[in-house]
Amino acid sequence: MFGNFRLARGKSVLLRRLAKLKRVRFTNNISQAKTMGLVWDASKPDEFQALSQFHQKMADRNIDLKIIGYYPGKELPAKLTAIRYLTCLKKDDINFAYRPVAPESNRFIDTRFDILIDLNFNKLFPLSYITSLSQAGFKVGVFDDNYPESPFDLMMEFKGKAEIMTYLTEVINYLELINKNTN
């Protein structure tokens, strides 16, 4: 019950901030993108290998990729530290209302990424908060019919459990189809 109160408080703050949110839309396709943000549920650190491969693929396309993740523990696993393109929040970086309060989270929110991809498959509130308030021009996430105020410009629906690399490959395939005539 106390956790529900904290979450309700966080959602209330989010709704107030969303009412003031103004963002510039990115209307091109991925071939014109220069920056990309990725929001990741880091509770399964073994998934980072796929993210590292994705980072390399984006670097090959000359897209600067930044990743922010949330690890629900107090100490980050060693494999998630000292990586230039990854910011990983932990339990101490989340306040009473489950809102991220680390300066890195605010910098990520304020960065005007051309594209933001949400890998928050478990709908963790700290990551939903970041995605919702992000200044990214185009937001991609997993379809959820229980998400009435979706922050996404494109939602991907998966049957069964979505694997990170499969999901990212499909997102890129669809982003390549969008506004194809603008090339």
In tens, the pLDDT along 28-83 reads: 778 899 999 999 999 999 999 999 999 999 999 999 999 999 999 899 998 898 89
**pLDDT at residue 148 in the model:** 58
Residue with tokens 């408080």: 9
Q: Yes or no: say if 174 and 153 are a contact pair by the CB < 8 Å rule.
A: no
**Cα gap 144→45, rounded to integer Å:** 24
| pLDDT at 179 > cutoff 60 | yes
Which residue segments constitute the domains of the chain, with CATH numbers given? 2-182 (3.40.50)
Nearest Cα residue to 179 out of 33, 35, 29, 30: 29
Work out the mean pLDDT of the chain and round it to a whole number: 87
In which band, very low, low, confident or very high, does the pLDDT at 183 lie, cut at 50, 70 and 90?
A: very low
Half-sphere exposure of 67 (CA within 13 A, CB side): 27
In which band, very low, low, confident or very high, does the pLDDT at 146 lie, cut at 50, 70 and 90?
A: low
| pLDDT at 181 > cutoff 60 | no
Mean pLDDT, to the nearest integer, of 25-30? Answer: 74
**pLDDT at residue 159 in the model:** 72
pTM, two decimals, is: 0.87
